[in-house]
Chains A and B, each alone.
Chain A
Amino acid sequence: MKKSRDDYLTIFFISIIGIYILIALAFPMYAILSKSVENKDGIFIGFENYQSYFSNPALVYSIYNSLFISIITMVITISLAFIFAYALTKSCMIGKGVFRSIAMIPILVPSLLSGISLIYLFGKQGILRDLMMGYDIYGPIGIIIAEVFYTFPHALLIIITALSIGDARLYEAAKVLRSKSIRTFFTVTLPSAKYGVISAAFVVFTLVITDFGIPKL
């Protein structure tokens, strides 16, 4: 079959994107990963580096810590963001705009800021130190609180969108079939927001596991 102008155009743009990905993603990845199979003198040694890494308990423990923090943060953030988004999209409460804006502010600040402010509030010289009831803000609790604070607006943004594009006709169908609000929530609201919640969870997980700033403090 003879190719049309559209086909050539498609091939052209796909090639450009392909070259871009090659230069910006594949080459740097290769540059880094190829070092991981070499020793200090640049001689190929196979997977020895990995072996020594995984045989060091402290380093393995750090991976376990990262995963632990990420998963806990993900669960807390998604639950909170879902409740918040549900209230913003489905209820008739007043001041929706104000609540939404306040919740969105942290999206503009670097993750470090939430860490610093938590230390100012709950740290060794913090003004609200007593509220910690003897627990220490410098450990996992502090990290999780700060990460939740940092990832909340990202999750909220995605879940609000997922909830507001739900099919209004399904709510009507449920209503005329005399469904109570809890049943409607589980048959209509939750399933239609499913993909939004899942993608928000991935976003939160990725944000937390790649974040350096907060744990460093």
Chain B
Amino acid sequence: MEQYLSVKNINKNFGDFQALKNVSFDVKEGEFVCILGPSGCGKTTLLRVIAGLESQSEGLINQNNKDISLLPPDQRDFGIVFQSYALFPNLSVKNNISFGLKTRKQNKETIDKRVNELLELVGLSDHINKFSAQLSGGEQQRVALARALAPSPGLLLLDEPLSALDAKVRQHLRLEIKNLQRQLGVTTIMVTHDQEEALTMADRIILMNNGVIEQEGSPQDLYLKPETAFSANFIGTTNLFKAKRISENSLEINGSTLECNENIKDDLLTVTIRPEDIKISKTGNEKNILKGTIKELEFLGSNIRGHIEVDFKSEKTNVICNFASEYILNNNIQNNSSVSISLQPHAIKVVKA
């Protein structure tokens, strides 16, 4: 597949504040890319720069082998869905969807056909003559999606499309958007602060923090191979520790020596251990065994999250672990129970601070 969109060295300043610092990335044709990050990290600004609603201070944008860096939004080829829907309240569903077709001077039959096609696609054929005030949030967002897709744009931009909806609708619409995108094969960039949304929908995630790209990769890569402490912490839950190098494959956390599978070079390190990689020692023969006391158990259904005070050699430290509910309940493990846990070598990963 070919690079459809490439963003090169984008900088954006608002007065003294630099919202985007040298941001570059590529998007392949038909790919679903999520720009993920906490609020204020510059992700929405980046999307608005791609749309031309905001002009970059420096940098180039190429779409479909054409330099669009300086074009106004109405000369770029994209459809956008805003977080707030931004449907025209005085127009019916039909007229909202056909708006972008009328401005492109298409004839009436083509427009009617396309509107019906899109309404069917988003499952709202019965609501064709309603106004946005008569629709639920989820329905409004689907109309907004249909409106953005109506002129068959080469690029679909989604600005936090689901964050104004409640949890059930969000989950449902998440799947629907993903299926629609796959079915139409339209190149899509979605901005979100919700890591679950990004993990479930994206082919590739671009993780941003403070105006720079922290890491980009497939959802699995970001979760399993975080490169920085920020990545590890933002996606999923994790335990972060400061550590000292002992040898190439062993390190020291709070005075306790632990074995790991990394190739350690620096003297001072930050390591991450996912809660689900910490196991309760059953045989006593596992590696990196530490004793601890259960401080709190949170029941999450199939899992139980344990907050364990672990006795490292020099100080006690709280560690978050995930256990199978069955095991905890069957073995009658409760608050203040003593347990031996194993921080398995392969689970200890060195990240940039």
Contacts and interface: CB of A to CB of B under 8 A. Distances in A.
Contact of A187 (B74, B82, B88): B88
B99 A187 contact: yes
B267 to A, nearest CB: 52
Given A178-B104, A187-B91, A187-B99, A173 B74 contact: no
B86 A173 contact: yes
Given A169-B82, A187-B99, A176 B53 contact: yes
Interface class of chain A by DSSP? helix
Contact of B103 (A169, A172, A179, A191): A179
A183 B99 CA distance: 10
B84 interface: yes
A179 B99 contact: yes
B80 A176 contact: yes
A167 B132 CA distance: 15
Interface in A138-164: none
B90 interface: yes
Contacts of B90: 187, 191
B86 A169 contact: yes
A183 B74 CA distance: 14
Contacts of A176: 51, 53, 73-74, 78-80
Contacts of B51: 176
Interface string A69-83: 000000000000000
Interface in B15-62: 51, 53
B86 A175 contact: no
A126 B52 CA distance: 57
Contacts of B84: 169
Interface string A165-200: 001011011111111100100011001000000000
Contact of A173 (B88, B104, B151): B88
Given A175-B73, A176-B53, A176-B74, A167 B103 contact: no
Contact of B86 (A170, A180, A191): A170
Interface string B129-171: 0000000000000000001000100000000000000000000
Contact of A175 (B74, B78, B89, B102): B74
Nearest to A168: B86
Nearest to B74: A178
A190 to B, nearest CB: 9
Interface residues of A, number: 16
B217 interface: no
Residue with the highest number of chain A CB atoms closer than 10 Å, among B51, B78, B79, B103:
B103
B100 interface: yes
**Category for how many chain B residues contact A:** 20 to 34
Interface string A19-63: 000000000000000000000000000000000000000000000
Contacts of A191: 88-90
Contacts of B80: 173, 176
A6 B76 CA distance: 57
Interface in B231-285: none
Nearest to B147: A177
Nearest to A180: B103
A169 B159 CA distance: 12
Q: Which of A173, A180, A188, A191 has the most CB of B within 10 A?
A: A173
Nearest to A188: B88
B103 to A, nearest CB: 4
B82 A173 contact: yes
A178 B100 contact: yes
Given A172-B53, A187-B91, A177 B100 contact: yes
A172 B79 CA distance: 12
Contacts of A187: 88, 90-91, 99
A179 B88 CA distance: 13
B100 A172 contact: no
Contacts of B89: 191
Most buried by B among A170, A175, A178, A187: A178
A177 B96 CA distance: 10
A174 to B, nearest CB: 8
Contacts of B147: 177
Interface in B283-309: none
A177 B82 CA distance: 13
A188 B90 CA distance: 8
A174 B88 CA distance: 9
A191 to B, nearest CB: 4
Interface string B62-105: 00000000000110001110101011111100000001101110
A183 B103 contact: yes
Given A176-B53, A178-B74, A167 B86 contact: yes
Contacts of A169: 82, 84, 86
B133 to A, nearest CB: 13
Given A172-B82, A180-B103, 4 more contacts: A167-B86, A169-B86, A172-B86, A191-B88
5 contacts: A173-B87, A187-B88, A187-B90, A187-B91, A191-B88
The 3 closest A-B pairs by CB, nearest first: A177-B100, A191-B90, A173-B86
